[in-house]
């Protein structure tokens, strides 16, 4: 079975500071990793994904994530946080093989960027 852990329920960061939202995963086979963001009363918006290739993935709104196979992590990062980045962030994983369409999500991390 595959799983995702987002160890922090909430992350607070000052505007202009770098931010990191942590994610670790467990799958059998090669992982496909995704980050989504959810604003209040909205659906999930796709930010970025890792399939293969470069470990550093760049996505929407200046976000990036680094795939670390040895640590089974896929942390989301941004060099300079904006107040508008405040939202709920979800990490998700799927893998090769049967049922590969089934995304498993973490419980989410609430990011608050303080002006």
Partner 1 sequence: GAGVSQSPSNKVTEKGKDVELRCDPISGHTALYWYRQSLGQGLEFLIYFQGNSAPDKSGLPSDRFSAERTGGSVSTLTIQRTQQEDSAVYLCASSSLAGAPDTQYFGPGTRLTVL
22's tokens: 């942590």
Site for partner 1 contains 67 (CB under 8 A):
no
Instruction: Please state the closest distance from residue 46 (CB atom) to partner 1, in A.
Output: 5
Q: What 8-state DSSP symbol labels residue 55?
A: S
Contact indicator for 76, 18 with CB cutoff of 8 Å: no
CA 47 vs. chain centroid, Å, equals 8
Site for partner 1 contains 108 (CB under 8 A):
yes
The piece of 14-22, 60-68, 71-79, 102-110 that touches partner 1 (CB under 8 A) is: 102-110
* Torsion angle of C-alpha atoms 94, 84, 81, 31, degrees rounded to 10: 0
Kindly tell me which of 24 and 94 has the beta carbon lying closer to partner 1. 94
Residues interacting with partner 1, by CB under 8 A? 4, 32, 34, 36, 41-46, 49, 51, 90, 92, 94-96, 99-108
């Amino acid at each position: 079975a595959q799983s995702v852990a987002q160890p922090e329920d909430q992350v607070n960061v000052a505007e202009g500071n770098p931010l990191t939202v942590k994610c670790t995963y467990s799958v059998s086979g090669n992982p496909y990793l995704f980050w989504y963001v959810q604003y209040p009363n909205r659906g999930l918006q796709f930010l970025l994904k890792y399939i293969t290739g470069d470990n550093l993935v760049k996505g929407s709104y200046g976000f990036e994530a680094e795939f670390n196979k040895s640590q089974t992590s896929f942390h989301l990062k941004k060099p300079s946080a904006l107040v508008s980045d405040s939202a709920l962030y979800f990490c998700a994983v799927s893998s090769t093989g049967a049922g590969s369409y089934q995304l498993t999500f973490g419980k989410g991390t609430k990011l608050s960027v303080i002006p």
